[in-house]
Amino acid sequence: MSAESVFSLRNRWFITAVGITAGLFLLTAVVGLIVLPYAQRDVTFTSIWDAICSAAGVPQVRSSAAPVQPDFKVSTVVVTASMLGQPSQESIGRGATLAQQCAICHGPVGVSRADSPNLAGQYASAIYKQLKDFTSGARVNAIMTPFAVSLSEQDMVDLSAYYAYLPRLPAYHPEQGKPAPRIVVNGAPMRNIAACGSCHGALDNKAGSPWLEGQSAAYIRTQLQAFASGARRNDISQQMRNIARQMTPEEIDEVAQYYASQPPQSRRASSE
């Protein structure tokens, strides 16, 4: 049989095959673009075209009403990589004076002995963001909130600059050399968990993310649990909440114990 006769309109098998294919295409188009979109619960469309666009992934404006606002305060701090990167000596000096009232919890040189976070050598942008969030109510703490609300904008900048200037000093590390858990190095891609080190130092740092090595295990564990439960909600784009919810209690404990066992690298931020 020749090719011409196979694709001829006089060939009833060719006509039948084309008709069945076209029918299946139209059926799947109607079901996928019209029937299934309309079958969704709590979804309304103003027209068939609206349903087709929705099924095709084209966003449609269905309402002119204002977006729903959260019933809690969110962080409004915009963090950039160059934020507070070049503090003046005057700013660092003023921060050193202000930091005297912080020493009871964070230590006289920024290294805590009370399971409060170590601030010596911490990124200035990370400290500044947390102070701003305590001030605005995006993050709440019985001790830090009353202290932060009394600070001016310049006070927060100066404190951040001073603590970032201090070298990271080793705290108490009972299990130095503890191997890094998989979740710190590789994360858990199947659960949409990025490697901890990709944001919090060692591998890389994301602007606004704190350096964790040498922090208290109790503090890290408490914060991860707070993110997981939603008690703490000042993370950027809900990133930490989404990650912490997917972590198992064992992984949270592994991360806390690992970072607490790692002596922080000594570093002095340049003020030039």
Q: What is the DSSP string of 56-112?
A: TT-------SPPPPPSS--------TTTT-S--HHHHHHHHHHGGGGHHHH-TTS--
Percent of the chain exceeding pLDDT 70 equals 86
* pLDDT on residue 47: 75
Mean pLDDT calculated for residue range 120-145: 96
Q: How confident is the model at residue 225 (pLDDT cuts 50, 70, 90)?
A: very high
Lowest mean pLDDT among 80-94, 126-140, 143-157, 190-204: 190-204
Quick: pLDDT tens for 103-116. Answer: 999 999 999 988 99
What average pLDDT is seen over the chain?
87
Asked if residue 219 has pLDDT above 90, the reply is yes
Mean pLDDT calculated for residue range 136-161: 96
Mean pLDDT calculated for residue range 56-64: 62
Lowest mean pLDDT among 89-98, 128-137, 191-200, 220-229: 191-200
Task: Compute the distance between CA of residue 201 and CA of residue 210 in angstroms, rounded to an integer.
Answer: 8
Mean pLDDT calculated for residue range 63-75: 77
Q: What is the DSSP string of 8-20?
A: -TT-HHHHHHHHH
Task: Compute the distance between CA of residue 251 and CA of residue 256 in angstroms, rounded to an integer.
Answer: 9
Asked if residue 70 has pLDDT above 70, the reply is yes
Quick: pLDDT tens for 116-126. Answer: 999 999 999 99
Q: How confident is the model at residue 269 (pLDDT cuts 50, 70, 90)?
A: very low
CATH superfamily placement of domain 89-261: Cytochrome c-like domain (1.10.760.10)
Angstrom CA distances, 109 to 32, 67, 96, 156, 168, stand at: 64, 46, 10, 17, 9
Nearest 10 degrees: CA dihedral of 140, 146, 147, 153?
Answer: 80
Quick: pLDDT tens for 166-185. Answer: 998 776 666 777 788 999 99
Cβ–Cβ < 8 Å for 49, 62: no
Classified as helix, coil or strand, 242 is: helix
Asked if residue 268 has pLDDT above 50, the reply is no
Domain ranges of the chain: 3-55, 89-261
List 204's β-bridge partners, or say none.
201
Other C-beta atoms within 10 Å of 104: how many? 12
Q: Which two tokens stand for residue 70?
A: 């959260």
